[in-house]
């Protein structure tokens, strides 16, 4: 039965054997009069002898007497006891105004107010304020739960260089050492201590190795923990890199990730021409499912953003992401920024939609430090220095593009990329585009290029001031073109693919790496039939004999190499004439791609089989140095007939002081069956990678 009792001292109330109903406490000199309901629940650590009073006969984790006042409880249905709530409880899950947490002692700095707001609630709102909100770079703010910050389009202003707002998830493990080497493609790692690591945590593996030295992108990889057995962690995806315990500063860092959404972030960067100090509006570290709705980042014009000018190292970022997984940037606007947004430290899966940018150094999200996976869906860019650019990353994709770039189409330093569906305009001249980027990958990282294909699809390239439209392709293995047109009313311009940063530029031509496969092709070109001519034991392919109107950078032909040769093995010596490009008397560096299709018949059995192989080779016509790259593909029938083909080293000859240059190599065909007869067909592509005057 419910009871109603009156007590005149706090001690009497505590000693009461009744733990139900209502109690009235009056006339105690040290406690305010009040009405208390007996309320079941866990009140451990909350008893204060004023609002929450424990009973002597009952543990606090079972229940307590709770004061009933309008100021201490939330609305409850009639007849039910209510639990007192702190201010923290009342604010939890509610949007709070950052102005409500501002203090006079903060001066003009709103960073402490934002920190207090986020400590009180996971929902923070910026009210309208005509003068904006000034932030002095300071300590990072740690987020412990999923958070939404509505910046409401209010200006966020940096008071000085540095990071205006630095938000991060809890870093639970710092600098854990690797206790076992991990191989590229391995889904597991082993670290020194995994006691506090939970499934779902973010793990960032880092070292000071710079796989491609030119741009100083350090080795980074970010994954989520899928399972844990002892100190062995199974990751949600296989590793992009191989990791060695002896690498300099190699370590693993672990974050307990939270989700973050920003709405209407509006960063206003001060005028910083003439300084290399970095200004960052917002940095986010160790989070998952990050969403930015309608962000803006605006610098001060004029903004010097030339490639080789004195302000090359000006750094303005709107938003940076480090060690994050899953980032969506919706309807961003960037003006006069170095980078509107950036993703670094191995950040994974970045998607950017409907970008508007102008007068920036790089347009779109800058992917660096081997961030993995970028998808750009829609960009309208005007007068940016480098449109569609990135630092070292994996799997970079841009679709639905409308770009007016001051200097060049792309500086995408990606391991694998696709650019499709749109138009690119440049007013630059041939001389405006530098070709001084050089820096081959360091030894041991050749495996990165196994998936380094570039694809260009459904593009119109408009370049009225140029005689050639360069696509600066970094870290590329092969380039594929589909429905790509170079358009100009006055000049029939061609497309040239330049492999920079992967040893196909002037500084590296002498010793191209043998691990790369480079097969770019320019505009669709007619491929004429051209049978090889046997001349003193050499099968010669001379494209000049059937010259057609093709682009300056590409020559293609195909035909019969040899027929019904009864020799086993058959060493077919092949000579390809290289000075066959229209308008160029002597090419500088040639990339070649040859497909050889061998057919073998056995006269005593009537069996036949075929084998098709593709090879790629590079050749420096000025030094005579050449390399055969790995086999690209093999297709064969009736494998039991054991056809084998191999390609020997490339040699060079110059007959008549530059009048007739050619490369030679030997393709050896063999079979383990009796009395084989061989026929050999070929397809050939030659690409001039270095034309005089460009």
CATH code of the domain covering residue 249: 2.40.30
User: Within this chain, do residues 264 and 250 fall inside the same structural domain, yes or no?
Assistant: no
Whole-angstrom Cα Rg for the chain: 34
Domain range enclosing 193: 170-206+216-256
528, part of any domain: no
pLDDT in tens, 572-608: 899 888 877 766 666 767 777 788 888 887 765 556 6
140, part of any domain: no
What's the rounded Cα separation, in Å, for the pair 423 and 463? 11
517, part of any domain: no
Structural domain count, the chain:
4
Task: Give the end of a domain, one of 45, 69, 85.
Answer: 85
CB atoms within 10 A of CB 137: 17
User: Within this chain, do residues 337 and 441 fall inside the same structural domain, yes or no?
Assistant: yes
139, part of any domain: no
What's the rounded Cα separation, in Å, for the pair 70 and 51? 12
User: Within this chain, do residues 292 and 419 fall inside the same structural domain, yes or no?
Assistant: yes
User: Within this chain, do residues 475 and 417 fall inside the same structural domain, yes or no?
Assistant: yes
What's the rounded Cα separation, in Å, for the pair 248 and 442? 15
Task: Give the end of a domain, one of 57, 85, 113.
Answer: 85
Q: Which residues pair with 40 in a beta bridge?
A: 63
43, part of any domain: yes
User: Within this chain, do residues 476 and 585 fall inside the same structural domain, yes or no?
Assistant: no
Q: What is the pLDDT of residue 672?
A: 77
Q: What is the pLDDT of residue 50?
A: 86
133, part of any domain: no
Q: What is the pLDDT of residue 594?
A: 81
Half-sphere exposure (CA, 13 Å, Cβ side) for 631? 13
What's the rounded Cα separation, in Å, for the pair 544 and 379? 43
Of 70, 65, 46, give the one whose Cα is nearest residue 55.
65
User: Within this chain, do residues 227 and 285 fall inside the same structural domain, yes or no?
Assistant: no
User: Within this chain, do residues 247 and 236 fall inside the same structural domain, yes or no?
Assistant: yes
DSSP 292-307: EES-EEE-PSS----S
Q: What is the pLDDT of residue 355?
A: 96
323, part of any domain: yes
User: Within this chain, do residues 418 and 275 fall inside the same structural domain, yes or no?
Assistant: yes
Query: Tokens for 600?
Result: 């073998």
Q: What is the pLDDT of residue 313?
A: 56
SS3 641: helix
What's the rounded Cα separation, in Å, for the pair 136 and 162? 8
Among 174-178, 504-508, 575-579, the minimum mean pLDDT is found in 504-508
Q: Which residues pair with 468 in a beta bridge?
A: 494
pLDDT in tens, 530-557: 888 888 888 988 887 766 555 556 777 8
Half-sphere exposure (CA, 13 Å, Cβ side) for 84? 23
Query: Tokens for 469?
Result: 């439209």
Listed in sequence order, the residues at least 6 apart from 74 whose beta carbon sits closer than 8 Å to its beta carbon are: 82, 85, 90
User: Within this chain, do residues 560 and 463 fall inside the same structural domain, yes or no?
Assistant: no
Q: What is the pLDDT of residue 610?
A: 76
Task: Give the end of a domain, one of 62, 85, 108.
Answer: 85
Query: Tokens for 689?
Result: 């990678």
User: Within this chain, do residues 491 and 640 fall inside the same structural domain, yes or no?
Assistant: no
pLDDT of 211 higher than 80:
yes
Query: Tokens for 72?
Result: 């201490």
User: Within this chain, do residues 472 and 576 fall inside the same structural domain, yes or no?
Assistant: no
CB 256 within 8 A of CB 198: yes
Of 325, 322, 334, give the one whose Cα is nearest residue 283.
322
* pTM of this structure: 0.65
569 preceded by a cis bond (ω within 30 of 0): yes
Query: Tokens for 558?
Result: 């195909």
523, part of any domain: no
Among 245-259, 302-316, 425-439, 568-582, the range of highest mean pLDDT? 245-259
User: Within this chain, do residues 465 and 564 fall inside the same structural domain, yes or no?
Assistant: no
Q: What is the pLDDT of residue 583?
A: 66
Q: What is the DSSP letter of 604?
A: T
pLDDT in tens, 106-143: 888 999 999 999 998 999 999 999 999 999 999 999 99
């Amino acid at each position: 039965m419910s009871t109603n009792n009156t007590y005149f001292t706090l001690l009497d109330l505590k000693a009461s054997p009744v733990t139900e109903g209502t109690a009235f406490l009056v006339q105690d000199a040290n406690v305010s009069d009040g009405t208390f309901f007996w309320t079941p629940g866990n009140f451990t650590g909350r008893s204060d002898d004023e609002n929450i009073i424990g009973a002597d006969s009952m543990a606090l984790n079972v229940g307590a007497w709770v004061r009933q006042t309008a100021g201490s409880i939330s609305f409850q249905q009639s007849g039910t006891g209510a639990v007192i709530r702190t201010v923290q409880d009342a604010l939890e899950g509610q949007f709070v105004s950052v102005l409500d947490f501002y203090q006079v002692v903060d001066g003009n700095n709103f960073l402490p107010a934002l920190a207090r707001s986020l400590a009180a609630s996971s929902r923070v709102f910026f009210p309208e304020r005509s003068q904006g909100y000034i932030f002095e770079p300071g300590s990072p703010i740690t987020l412990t739960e999923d958070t939404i910050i509505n910046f409401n389009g209010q200006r966020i202003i940096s008071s000085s260089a540095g990071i205006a707002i630095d938000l991060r998830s809890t870093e639970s493990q710092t600098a854990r050492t690797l206790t076992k080497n991990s191989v590229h493609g391995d889904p597991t790692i082993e670290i020194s201590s995994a006691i506090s690591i939970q499934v779902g945590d973010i793990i960032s593996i880092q070292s000071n190795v710079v796989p491609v030295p030119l741009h100083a992108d350090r080795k980074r990889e970010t994954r989520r923990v899928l399972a844990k057995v002892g100190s062995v962690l199974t990751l949600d995806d296989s590793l992009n890199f191989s990791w060695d315990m002896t690498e300099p500063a190699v370590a693993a860092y672990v974050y307990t990730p939270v989700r973050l959404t920003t709405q209407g972030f509006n960063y206003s960067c001060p005028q910083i021409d003439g300084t290399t100090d970095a200004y960052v509006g917002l940095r986010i570290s160790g989070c998952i499912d990050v969403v930015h709705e309608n962000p803006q980042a605006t610098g001060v014009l004029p903004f010097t953003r030339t490639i080789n000018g004195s302000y090359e190292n000006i750094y303005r970022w709107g938003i940076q992401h480090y060690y994050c997984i899953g980032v969506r940037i919706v309807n961003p606007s960037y003006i006069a920024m170095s980078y509107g947004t950036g993703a670094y430290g191995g950040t994974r899966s970045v998607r950017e939609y409907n970008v508007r940018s102008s007068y920036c150094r790089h347009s779109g999200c800058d992917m660096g430090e081997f961030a993995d996976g970028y998808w750009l869906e829609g960009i309208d860019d005007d007068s940016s220095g480098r449109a569609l650019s990135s630092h070292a990353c994996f799997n970079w994709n841009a679709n639905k593009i409308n770009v007016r770039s001051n200097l060049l189409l792309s500086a995408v330093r990606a391991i694998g990329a696709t650019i499709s569906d749109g138009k690119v305009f440049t007013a630059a001249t041939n001389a405006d585009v530098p070709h001084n980027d050089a820096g081959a990958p360091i030894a041991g990282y050749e495996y990165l290029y196994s998936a380094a294909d570039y694809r260009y699809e459904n593009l119109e390239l408009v370049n009225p001031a140029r005689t050639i439209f360069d696509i600066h392709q970094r870290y590329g293995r092969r380039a594929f073109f589909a429905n790509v047109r170079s358009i100009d009313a006055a000049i029939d311009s061609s497309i040239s693919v330049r492999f920079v940063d992967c040893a196909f530029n002037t500084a590296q031509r002498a010793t191209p790496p043998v691990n790369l496969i480079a097969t770019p092709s320019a505009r669709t070109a007619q491929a004429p039939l051209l049978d090889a001519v046997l001349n003193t034991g050499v099968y010669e392919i001379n494209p000049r004999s059937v010259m057609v109107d093709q682009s300056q950078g590409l020559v293609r032909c195909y035909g019969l190499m040899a027929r019904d040769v009864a020799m086993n093995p058959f060493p077919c010596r092949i000579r390809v004439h290289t000075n066959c490009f229209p308008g160029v008397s002597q090419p500088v560096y040639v990339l070649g791609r040859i497909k050889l299709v061998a057919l073998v018949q056995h006269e005593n059995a009537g069996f036949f089989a075929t084998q098709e192989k593709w090879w790629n080779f590079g050749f420096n016509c000025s030094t005579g140095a050449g390399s055969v790259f790995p086999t690209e593909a093999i297709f064969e029938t009736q494998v039991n007939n054991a056809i084998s083909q191999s390609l020997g080293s490339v040699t060079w000859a110059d007959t008549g002081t530059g009048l007739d240059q050619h490369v030679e190599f030997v393709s050896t065909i063999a079979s383990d069956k009796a009395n084989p007869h061989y026929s050999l067909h070929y397809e050939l592509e030659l690409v001039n990678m270095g034309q005089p005057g460009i």
